[in-house]
């Protein structure tokens, strides 16, 4: 049982916007690498620009993958991306499919995020309000770099406008035209399961009355924000607070209605989630799935 999750290829966890490995002692993937390692998986939680385009982040990821391949002797890796980390992983797989066994999108805004569209309207880049938000995000990213203890390196390039553009529906559509691998061709459908030898998977959650508001989430500020953002969704009422249910689809859709908000899905904050929800198990089950597929 100890080796039930010993996948053939290492698992690489790619964070989303404002992502990190560990701020002081606090991890982005709360309890997830530990659970995977207990099952025998090799896991790398990596740091890339917290605020930048999916293409720039993807190029950084390729350099990291190259290093992991060299260090472990593995030919390929399994990429698991949360939020914008999904597009980042997709970019890397599109560019170097021979290095990637699978791409898994966890609450990835593969069709874009209504929240980003809302911000584009409310905080136009050329307005005083937009410039103030950009400055705030820039300072936040720099503060995070100072506090990062999981994978400290040089200050990674920050581009607020490019990050934002990557996440709007228009930006995501542009990205999908260039990197269509795994993206469903019909709204609500699943995508191709294998493209260029790379397997594509996704899962996501939706904010659900009662179920999401219960348990630890009653004490979790991030859940409050996800609930608030969810109310602003118009195109997709079913969403996790930052990404719509259908927008998250990529490749084989493992599930798209888990009672998990956008932060619950990576077991935030501090493992506080709705009653009965188990986001860590989705990761361990997926590692077992990858192993069974010979990946």
Among all residues, which ones are annotated catalytic?
A: 83, 240, 262
How many chain residues are in contact with Ca ion, going by CB under 5 A?
Answer: 6
* Residue 90 vs 223, nearer CB to Ca ion: 223
Phi-psi region at 218: left, alpha or beta (left = phi > 0; alpha = psi -120 to 50): alpha
Is 272 among the residues that bind Ca ion (CB under 5 A)?
Answer: yes
CB of 63 to Ca ion, least distance (A): 32
Contacts to Ca ion from residues 213-242, by CB under 5 A: 217, 220, 223
* Residue 35 vs 195, nearer CB to Ca ion: 35
CB of 278 to Ca ion, least distance (A): 12
Considering only 264, 277, 279, 280, the residue that binds Ca ion (CB under 5 A) is 264
SS (H, E, C) the chain: CCCCCCCCCCEEEECCCCCCCEECCEECCCCHHHHHHHCCCCEEECCCCCCCCHHHHHHHHHHHHHHHHHHHCCCCEEEEEECHHHHHHHHHHHHCHHHEEEEEEECCCCCCCHHHHHHHHHCCCCCHHHHHHHHHHHHHHHHHHHHECCCCCCCCCCCHHHHHHHHCHHHHHHHHHHCCCCCCCCCCCCCCCEECCEEEEEEEECCCCCCCCCHHHHHCHHHHHHHHHHCCCCCCCCECCCCECHHHCCCEEEEEEECCCCCHHHCCCCCCCCCCCCHHHHHHHHHHHHHHCCC
Interface pattern 110-129 for Ca ion (x via CB under 5 A): --------------------
Q: Which stretch binds Ca ion (CB under 5 A): 126-134, 156-164, 202-210, 266-274?
A: 266-274
Find all residues with CB under 8 Å of 236, minimum gap 6, and list them: 114, 244, 245, 246, 247
Find all residues with CB under 8 Å of 19, minimum gap 6, and list them: 28, 47, 48, 50, 82, 83, 84, 85
Interface pattern 177-216 for Ca ion (x via CB under 5 A): ----------------------------------------
* Residue 190 vs 217, nearer CB to Ca ion: 217
Instruction: Considering only CA atoms, give the Rg of the chain.
Output: 18
Residue with structure tokens 């996704």?
A: 202
CB of 264 to Ca ion, least distance (A): 4
CB of 269 to Ca ion, least distance (A): 6
* Residue 115 vs 162, nearer CB to Ca ion: 115
* Residue 240 vs 264, nearer CB to Ca ion: 264
The residue number with the shortest CB distance to Ca ion is: 220
CB of 220 to Ca ion, least distance (A): 4
Q: Which stretch binds Ca ion (CB under 5 A): 12-20, 32-40, 54-62, 265-273?
A: 265-273
Q: Which stretch binds Ca ion (CB under 5 A): 172-180, 247-255, 260-268, 287-295?
A: 260-268
Is 148 among the residues that bind Ca ion (CB under 5 A)?
Answer: no
CB of 258 to Ca ion, least distance (A): 12
* Residue 148 vs 264, nearer CB to Ca ion: 264
Residues at the site binding Ca ion, with contacts judged by CB under 5 A: 217, 220, 223, 264, 272-273
């Amino acid at each position: 049982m100890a080796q039930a999750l010993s996948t053939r290829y290492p698992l690489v966890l790619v964070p989303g916007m404002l992502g990190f490995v560990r701020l002081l002692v606090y991890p982005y993937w709360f309890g997830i690498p530990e659970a995977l390692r207990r099952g025998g998986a090799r896991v790398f939680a990596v740091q890339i620009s917290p605020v930048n385009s999916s293409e720039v982040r993807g190029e950084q990821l390729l350099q990291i993958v190259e290093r992991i391949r060299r260090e472990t002797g593995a030919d390929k890796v399994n990429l698991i991306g949360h939020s914008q980390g999904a597009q980042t992983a997709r970019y890397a797989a599109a560019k170097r499919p021979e290095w990637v066994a699978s791409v898994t999108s966890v609450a990835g805004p593969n069709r874009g995020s209504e929240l980003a569209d809302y911000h584009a309207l409310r905080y136009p880049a050329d307005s005083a309000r937009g410039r103030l938000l950009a400055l705030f995000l820039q300072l936040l990213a720099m503060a995070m770099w100072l506090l990062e203890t999981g994978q400290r390196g040089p200050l990674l390039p920050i581009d607020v406008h490019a990050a934002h553009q990557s996440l709007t529906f228009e930006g995501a559509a542009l990205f999908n035209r260039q990197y269509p691998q795994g993206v469903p061709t019909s709204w609500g459908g699943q995508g191709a399961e294998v493209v260029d030898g790379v397997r594509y998977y996704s899962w996501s959650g939706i904010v659900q009355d009662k179920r999401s508001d219960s348990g630890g989430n009653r004490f979790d500020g991030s859940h409050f924000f996800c609930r608030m953002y969810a109310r602003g969704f118009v195109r997709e009422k079913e969403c996790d607070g930052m990404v719509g249910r259908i927008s998250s689809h990529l490749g084989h859709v493992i599930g798209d209605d888990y009672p998990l908000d956008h932060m619950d899905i990576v077991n935030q904050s501090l493992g506080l989630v709705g009653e009965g929800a188990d986001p860590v198990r989705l990761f361990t089950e997926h590692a077992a799935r990858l192993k069974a597929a010979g990946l």
